[in-house]
Amino acid sequence: SIKNAPVVYLHQSFDRREMAALYVAADALVVTPLRDGMNLVAKEYVACRNDEQGVLVLSEFAGAADELSDALLVNPHDIDGLKAGLLRALHMPLDEQQRRMRALRERVFDSNVSRWVQGFLGAVGAAADQRTADEGLDAEAPELSPHTFLSSTMQDRLRRLATAPTLIVATDFDGTLSPLVENPSKARILPRAQRALDVLAASPGVHVAVLSGRSLASLAETGLRSDGWAVSGSHGAEITGLGADHGGGALTDDEQGRLDALARRIERVLGGEQGMRIERKPFGIAVHAREVADTRAADELLAAAEELGLTAGFEPRKGKMVREFSARKVNKGQALEHIRQQLPASPVIFLGDDVTDEDAFAVLGSQDLAIKVGEGESRANERVADPDAATAVLAWLAQMRTGVVVGSS
């Protein structure tokens, strides 16, 4: 019977009302062509979901995938990956469904025929500008390293942001502006990134912010020059600059006592392990394992740190080879919203590489740009490979905004 059949294949046409009803009833829509055109059925599904529920599973080879980046993008040639995508769609929490569908609907309704015409003419103009530059007639046209790839959607979004009356450029530090190093005290911002952010900060209407898990004191020790910027440390427990100063207040005696007790326990259990480093912060403790030689041993030691924190009533914050425990429940998303509230209403571009940056990605809207640096699952709608590529994005944005060339030398 149809009720017990794993797949019901209906080879027939449906009128508009019936199709809309099917779209609204579907927990997930799977559109997985191996090679195809726009696949507007994906956009129809999104347009019908005014309940902001349901999950779109979309082939990365579909034309619509360039716009619908908040869908679960899959490679239909990868059977295991496709199965994983289907399982994730069917078990996706309601809040994530709503977040993704809300972003998809904004994208579908914003990308109307007028926007398409503007984008097409803009692309034609950009191509003409590039041809002029190639012929040596315009030395100021933005350039990218041949090793840096930016998707067409990212370039379009960067061009839009570059012409916004006001703009907030926010970024993580470690793994984004600075390559990850075994000893965090040796991290330094890439010189080109510093120059690009300096140029952007000096541009009228642009505000620069750095959001880091480091304390403000630790950021200062890296040599970061941030005069005139907003800087958030300790995952948002400390904020300074651009009128967004927020010290979080001193720890209460109870908070300090709990933190001290946890520090003693971690030091007693893990302090003697080769390569482990325990860092005290103004509002918490970080346990680093980047210098542990064996990856499996590092994972086990970090798991032990998590257990110690949970036992003491602290929620572990996971990062790349680090676990943190804070006396204050704050995150980078809250810090970004706090900074944003102090400034004129502006679109935001945020670049980050770590799990803790996902909180900032989560508060961005359809007019903002979230860029994940490196590998790993992310809420971000765009991605670059590494800090060098992130720096190239900032340099390109600076040049489009101001005309100032931020070279790599």
Residue 244 scores a pLDDT above 50: yes
Single out the residue of 364, 377, 272, 279 nearest to residue 321, CA to CA: 279
Contact 28, 2 (CB under 8 A): no
Give φ, ψ of 400 to 5 degrees: -65, -35
- Answer for the pair 193, 169: CB distance below 8 angstroms, yes or no: no
For the ranges 65-74, 167-176, 314-323, the one whose mean pLDDT is highest: 167-176
pLDDT tens-digit profile of 258-274? 889 999 999 999 988 99
Fold of 253-326: Alpha-Beta Plaits (3.30.70)
Decide if pLDDT at 247 tops 80: no
Edge-first strand order for the sheet with 369-373 is 238-240, 230-233, 206-211, 167-171, 348-352, 369-373, 382-384
| Terminal-residue alpha carbon distance, the chain | 70
Strand partners, 286: 279, 324
pLDDT of residue 143: 54
Query: CA dihedral in degrees (300, 306, 311, 315; nearest 10)?
Result: -170
Return the number of other C-beta atoms located less than 10 Å from residue 33's C-beta.
Answer: 13
Of the candidates 267, 258, 268, the one whose C-alpha atom is nearest the C-alpha of residue 328 is 258
Tokens of 366: 């359809």
Q: Which of 65-69, 229-233, 243-247 has the lowest mean pLDDT?
A: 243-247
CATH fold match for the domains 142-248+330-402 and 253-326: no
Across the chain, mean pLDDT equals 86
Identity of the amino acid at 134: D
134 Cβ partners below 8 Å, 6+ apart?
none
How is 171-223 classified by DSSP, letter by letter?
A: E-SBTTTB---SSGGG----HHHHHHHHHHHHSTTEEEEEE-SS-HHHHHHTT
Q: List phi, psi (to 5°) of 360.
A: -75, -40
Q: How confident is the model at residue 142 (pLDDT cuts 50, 70, 90)?
A: low
Q: What six digits make up the tokens of 3?
A: 């009720």
- Scanning the structure block, which residue is given the tokens 């030395």? 139
Residues belonging to the active site: 172
In the block, tokens 């009533």 appear at 313
- The count of other CB atoms within 10 Å of the CB of residue 355 is 15
Cβ atoms of 388 and 368 within 8 Å: the answer is no
Q: Do the beta carbons of residue 332 and residue 360 sit within 8 Å?
A: yes
- pTM more than 0.85: no
- Residue 146, pLDDT > 70, answer no
- Return the CATH number of 16-110, one of 3.40.50.2000, 2.30.110.10, 3.40.47.10, 3.90.230.10: 3.40.50.2000
Kindly give the residue spans of alpha helices, DSSP state H, lying in 91-185: 94-110, 113-134, 152-162
Beta sheet of 322-326, edge-to-edge order: 277-280, 284-288, 322-326, 317-319
- CATH fold label, 142-248+330-402: Rossmann fold (3.40.50)
What are the residue ranges of helices labelled H in 271-386?
A: 295-311, 332-341, 358-362
What is the pLDDT at residue 148? 61
Q: Please, what is the angle between helix 295-311 and helix 253-270, to 10°?
A: 150
Give the start-to-end residue ranges of the domains of the chain: 16-110, 142-248+330-402, 253-326
Residue 353: which of 219, 111, 180, 202 has the closest Cα?
A: 180
Q: What's the whole-number mean pLDDT along residues 7-33?
A: 91
Q: What is the mean pLDDT of residues 362-370?
A: 92
Render pLDDT for 335-350 as a digit per residue (tens, 0 to 9): 999 999 999 999 999 9
pLDDT (tens digit per residue) in 100-139: 999 899 888 877 777 667 667 766 665 565 555 455 434 3
Say what the pLDDT of residue 35 is. Answer: 77
Backbone Cα Rg of the chain: 24
- Percent of the chain whose predicted confidence (pLDDT) is above 90: 54
Per-residue pLDDT band at 245 (split at 50, 70, 90)? low
Cα 41 to chain centroid distance, Å, stands at: 28
Q: Is the pLDDT of residue 231 over 90?
A: yes
Enter the DSSP assignment of 145: -
Say how far residue 121 (Cα) sits from the centre of its chain: 29
What is the structure's pLDDT at 403? 87
